[in-house]
Amino acid sequence: PVVAAISGNALGGGLEVALSCHYRIADKTGRFGLPEVHVGVIPGAGGTQRLPRLVTVPKALEMILTGKPIGAKEARKLGLVDHVVETKETLVDVARKYAEWAELMPLADRRVGWMSIKETPEQVKMIAAVASKKLPSPEMGGEGVRAALEAVKACSL
């Protein structure tokens, strides 16, 4: 089993690496996001495919299209992280316990890339249509966010 122990920022590639782990444990300073949109690109290491499978398509689109990060407590509520600890000192201990426990469990259902999204393809189309109306035009720098939207829509295929 692979367990991510996250303290502080897990942004961009850091979050994408954490999404590829079986379990994600964070301390209360954890912040999670995909800010690539701020530089005109899309998440390139699976974030557009894995994030919607954990936090729902609407929340994933919000995070990807705005680049706005969320805190550890919200990440826990959404299912993005499995456990939040209060101090850095306990973070590694809890992550180790998860790894020891996970050795005894089947891990196939913990592979985020294999999970299904919660929404139907029709719901994804509707959500994407609403989101696309709020995006800037390509002339106004909206090319990257439109590409990210298309990548998230691919989750329902």
Smallest Cα–Cα separation from 2: which of 19, 22, 16, 26?
Answer: 22
Residue 120 CB burial class (10 angstroms; 0-12, 13-18, ≥19):
exposed
Of 16, 62, 100, 119, which residue is the catalytic one? 16
119 is catalytic: no
Q: Which amino acid, 148?
A: A
103 is catalytic: no
Do residues 79 and 54 make contact, with C-beta atoms less than 8 angstroms apart? Answer: yes
Distance, first Cα to last Cα, the chain: 28
Of 36, 62, 74, 150, which residue is the catalytic one? 36
133 token code pair:
């109306």
Active site residues: 16, 36
